[in-house]
Structure 1
């Protein structure tokens, strides 16, 4: 059946469902959604359950597009007359191509109304389809620029979404039934995550990252025949925004990929921020730049965002659902439903099966599950992390000890995730008098990443949301935090009073942490505190192992006299105990488990232990292997 025939069939079914008097002028696939164009969006709004019924019966994600729209100037006044005054509207933007109006408000719940009642009133009043976002407590330059850019490419986006929509909903021509996964990186190693999921009809790439120690083998095996040409890929799915998963996605566009990248909204924003920063770091180190900022824009232009729990067609025979992974903001376990009930497979990305200050634990219940690819960063038999409370007490103890001897605490941390966890712990420690009230300097992309966290509070756990929005206490806005935004201030921090410095990069492979190390490493009063995983081959791992002289550039070395402290327990990864518990709690139990994203001995040990305890078939795959699932 050709697409036009399919759309006509869907339009006929829609006309059977809609009440008399509502006209449907056009039906079109737009990305994973079915867009219904109508002259009567107000009547659709009156029928509160109609869209839900259509979505259920047609088994499609439905969006209503009005063909007749009120003038934006008049619509602004009508919106403000419908929405209660307490909403705190800060911005209204009209997208004529989609017929949507984006309303930014301090209290989005007031704009939405009970069960969406106020949104329906807005549609009835102006015809436009309203979407509501929260006004960020900390303004994010990245979010602002992403929104502006996405508005600037409206026409191209519309054409792209229609092209992708027709590709997703093409007729299945192959009668064979099989599912294969090819490992293109991240097996028996940490970094360069990339996996190719294939059926006779479709190909999907999961993640495309770099390796933290990228001097050798820093790129996934993107040249192998299974993935070429890149134009044959149906989709790229991004689990989260750490560079070992997202750094090289723009490279795909440089070499011919023109399809969508699916992620959660915060993952899209964080990934673009970190990709641009990644280019800047490489430029400063005088290394070969893998792609340009134009390729990052190509990624944004082709991005499609999905919220947790939204079941979405991404290929004729593949549905994708994201579930909370508990690792960093917007991190997701990607669950794929293949064929008409043929097979189900999930990729955890990085995940945390324990509650943290920022997030709820990773989801462990799925509708169906036959195979699971799970990370094993802390999969070794002795990889037990202390409780978060004990980790925080050790951090407080270290900070107190260093400040008492008039030293400075340097904490290298990932801009996304780890930095915010440490910030919350230190802020509470000061508020409760557990550590002295000193300045905490943030250097690198940390403040901007924190601003993005406040843009998406629905992705934070309920305790933190309540603290910020009900109790009016936003710990990220505490006076102790000071952004280092110039070389002059960095110099003052180095020469100034005892303090805490949280700075990127987390594994010390570049970034502003090198400035602090250069200036402060020689003084034994100071301390370098590791709060996250240090991959093999990184400078952080070498110092952690005890190196007392480390290279800075080609000619200079740094003598390490300052105290080295490792505070385990802040990781966004599950430890060995949690990994085993996760497997025990996963519902339904998978038939096969593949242990990935960990040092070789850890992935092998975890696979062996899972098999012994749970009698599930396990594999510790190597790179460049292909597994047939069915």
Structure 2
């Protein structure tokens, strides 16, 4: 098998792998790098122009895995795209939101390349995307060369629809973890991967730099979150939870609803907004059609969710003594969570609680690294303020604990392991551990754009 990482920057970004199995050319994911703009945010798709693709496989619907998909489909006008049935229900809504965001960015920031695709193009491409059930093998034949590959999707936890991908080609077994979480979430069961030997394992490494001893129990972290919300409200302040639209918004709503049902959450107004609220209806449909997640849209009514005021004013404390659950999870500029935080941060009665991964270069990551009392600049909001509010992190990652992932890799005893989706310190930890525990296994940390024989 030949493998090329098409992610220009490596690390975590525009996730995209080109696999060549004999005469078959398969693309796994085609994401968008959230730290880049324009064409620089896309994978390096020039390599695909040498020969046509036979298939594109999507592991799940976060934009760092699907954000450039329409670009690849435009350049490969015949190639089919497969994903899980749940991802098929989500993908068009995620791509439409991305197109709208890029259109706004073009107008506000004068980015010539944006939008990379339009709503109309998404509509035209929809017939080429197919959803498959978990655990049902499907054979695909390459165009004009007669070779076949068998594909099996396995539940990967992480978010609704996320899949580990098993490929069988001429008696060779390849397994791609995608983004994985083995622990159960409140709305989604943990990963159910097949045990036993694989010839090649392609695995994510996101939390390789996080000591498992520092990882808290998920239930305990949710209890700590509810306690912190109560504390902020009782001190006369507000509590802001920046959330990812896909997955984390729905899980937080479920946990907050449970806390209120059992009398553990103080009475306060709850505001929520963003793409995550639109996805509530999609999660409800997935729960009814596939039964792979547990969620009901009735939660919104039960909690009495209020829409966010249309015009948030940067630098102004809302003074609503309320809970806010807003996108984006990393508090990216010009999002509701970024604007609201610029007004809340300068007041000691408020709390901002992060419940997911924050890239160090994003405003959320920068705020987490800022000490209380220091100044913090909300650059695009034009606000500079001292950090007086409490800023807390809750360990509720959607990615596997590194020891759990290492355990899965060791039991698979593959001939080769390819490290993906992780910053360099995370990859280095896995490389060292795998070298010690699997000395006969070839461990590969691919450089962007370089072809490897695996």
- State the TM bucket, normalised to the shorter chain: 0.7 to 0.9
Which residue of the partner structure matches residue 523 of structure 1?
Answer: 347
- Alignment CA distance shift 1:440-1:282 (3 Å): same
Which residue of the partner structure matches residue 37 of structure 1?
Answer: none
Cα distance in structure 1, aligned partners of 2:210 and 2:42: 29
Q: Is the 8 A contact 2:156 2:177 kept in 1?
A: yes
- Alignment CA distance shift 1:279-1:461 (3 Å): closer
SS at match of 1:181: strand
Alignment of 1:181-196 (within 5 A): 181-185=3-7, 188-196=10-18
Alignment of 1:462-477 (within 5 A): 464=294, 476-477=299-300
Which residue of the partner structure matches residue 379 of structure 2?
Answer: 552
Which residue of the partner structure matches residue 297 of structure 1?
Answer: 123
2:418 to 591, 594, 606: 594
Cα distance in structure 2, aligned partners of 1:401 and 1:361: 31
Deviations 1:229-271 (A, max 9, x none): 57x1111100000010011101123334332110112212322
Cα distance in structure 2, aligned partners of 1:187 and 1:308: 32
Is residue 218 of structure 1 aligned with residue 41 of structure 2?
yes
Which residue of the partner structure matches residue 53 of structure 1?
Answer: none
- Alignment CA distance shift 1:332-1:490 (3 Å): farther
Structure 2: segments with no counterpart, 5+ residues: 142-146
- Alignment CA distance shift 1:228-1:481 (3 Å): farther
- Alignment CA distance shift 1:254-1:562 (3 Å): farther
Which residue of the partner structure matches residue 362 of structure 2?
Answer: 538
Deviation (angstroms), 1:494:
6.4
Alignment of 1:88-487 (within 5 A): 179-185=1-7, 188-215=10-37, 217-224=40-47, 227-229=48-50, 232-285=52-105, 286=108, 287=111, 288-315=114-141, 316-339=147-170, 341=171, 343-365=172-194, 369-380=198-209, 382=211, 384-457=214-287, 459=290, 464=294, 476-484=299-307, 487=310
Runs of 4+ in 1 over 4 A off after TM superposition: 458-462, 488-491
Cα distance in structure 1, aligned partners of 2:127 and 2:308: 29
Q: Is the 8 A contact 2:410 2:437 kept in 1?
A: no
SS at match of 1:484: coil
Q: Is the 8 A contact 1:326 1:352 kept in 2?
A: yes
RMSD, aligned CA: 2.6
Q: Is the 8 A contact 1:608 1:618 kept in 2?
A: no
2:446 to 598, 608, 621: 621
SS at match of 1:426: helix
2:328 to 499, 505, 509: 505
- Alignment CA distance shift 1:289-1:558 (3 Å): farther
Alignment of 1:52-91 (within 5 A): none
Deviations 1:499-528 (A, max 9, x none): 111111111224322331233333232221
Cα distance in structure 2, aligned partners of 1:297 and 1:565: 42
Q: Is the 8 A contact 1:188 1:603 kept in 2?
A: no
Cα distance in structure 2, aligned partners of 1:621 and 1:398: 42
- Alignment CA distance shift 1:423-1:494 (3 Å): farther
Cα distance in structure 2, aligned partners of 1:603 and 1:519: 38
Deviation (angstroms), 1:221:
1.6
Deviations 1:442-484 (A, max 9, x none): 110112212111111165557x47xx6xxxxx76345224152
The higher-RCO structure (CA 8 Å, 6+ apart) is: 2
Structure 1: segments with no counterpart, 5+ residues: 1-178, 469-473
- Alignment CA distance shift 1:419-1:562 (3 Å): farther
Deviation (angstroms), 1:273:
1.2
Deviation (angstroms), 1:497:
2.7
Q: Is the 8 A contact 2:8 2:449 kept in 1?
A: no
Q: Is the 8 A contact 1:309 1:322 kept in 2?
A: yes
